[in-house]
Amino acid sequence: MKHLSDLGELTLGSRLKRMSDQLFEDVDKLYQHSGITISSRCFPILFLLNANGNSGITQLAEQLGQAHSSVSQMSQKLIKAGYIQNKQDPNDTRRRLVGLTEEGLALFQRMVPLWQDIEQSVKAMIHDSGFDLMQGLKQFEIQQSEHSLLSRVEARKAMRESEKVEIIPFESQYRDAFKTLNVEWLEKYFYVEEIDNQVLSNPEEYILDPGGYIFFARYNDEIIGTGALIKSAEGVYELTKMSVTEKYQGLKVGRKIAIRAIEQFLAVAGKTLFLESNSRLKPALHLYETLGFEHQAKKDDSHYQRADVYMVFNPAKFR
């Protein structure tokens, strides 16, 4: 028969909760033996108030890393027991603070010997385990704070799903998607200019026939992104019409399309690859920078009114 401990990291939360519940239960019994009926879960509030003085519920919740409502409920129990009391903030009469009462201070002093016994017993358990649990727990808390489990799992899922995205060349059956995706993007951030409408409505005439290329990102048989290389002159190409439907942003689709376009540019021995963008689009600009594009002075003859950024590809910085 398998137990939680046999299931590895997947049941870490359950095992930690089980251990936490057992520790709280044991300490509650110790408190009851000492005539204390308040749950041990409330005592961290007493520790903080004794160490820091009067505090607001919001401040206590932040220090404890618990929900405001939970800390408020525990505080009410301590108020009812007579260990803490409501106080007015001398600097802001609208703000309510809580602080230890005389009875709370007396309780704190009376409990010190028991807390010392608990602390030494826990230290002995950690020592006997042969592992520095407190240091490990501290590092784990830091990791959780910097990058939560939620964000880590979502990132791994996105990476896994990103592998399913394929970049394919222009196919006539996806012609409408080229315009639809770009119009969706333009209307979200700017507006569709006349030059946009001309190119998007006639991609063969403006992009493919003059020697350019159009790429699509396909995911589970759905076209979710697109991009193009427009041939401006012999050996000169513009990376443009980059768009990814909002639903699938996070799968690094834009990067995949841009890399495919750059690879095409290199394959035809292009001399210059440039793009025009807007300073508002910081994530996109960062992407281009990581792929080897460098900022240069804005062109005076830009096709687009929205363009205030001009970048040129440096092959030496690619990847």
55 beta partners = 98
Burial class of 205 by CB neighbour count within 10 A (0 to 12, 13 to 18, 19+): exposed
Q: How many CA atoms lie within 13 A of 280 on its CB side?
A: 6
The Cα–Cα gap between 82 and 50 comes to 15
Higher pLDDT: 230 or 307? It is 230
What's the confidence (pLDDT) of residue 273?
Answer: 93
* CATH classification number, 165-317, choose in 1.10.10.10, 3.40.630.30, 3.30.450.40, 3.40.50.720: 3.40.630.30
Collapsing DSSP to helix, strand or coil, 265 comes out as: helix
Residue 85 to residue 82: CA distance in whole angstroms:
7
pLDDT of residue 234: 93
pLDDT at 201 over 90: no
Domain with CATH 3.40.630.30 in the chain: 165-317
Instruction: Tell me the one-letter amino acid at 174.
Output: Y
pLDDT > 70 in the chain, percent: 96
Residue spans in the chain of domains classed CATH 1.10.10.10: 4-146
Is 104 exposed, middle or buried (CB count within 10 Å of its CB: 0-12, 13-18, 19+)? Answer: buried
Q: Is the pLDDT of residue 3 over 70?
A: no
Q: What is the pLDDT of residues 166-195, one digit of tens each?
A: 999 988 888 888 888 888 878 887 777 888
Between the two ends of the chain, the Cα-to-Cα distance in Å is: 50
What band does 280 get if pLDDT is binned at 50, 70 and 90? Answer: confident
Confidence class for position 9, pLDDT limits 50, 70, 90: confident
Residues 6+ apart with CB under 8 A from 319: 291, 292
Contact criterion met (CB below 8 Å) for 198 and 241: no
Write the single-letter amino acid at 281: L
CATH no. of 4-146: 1.10.10.10
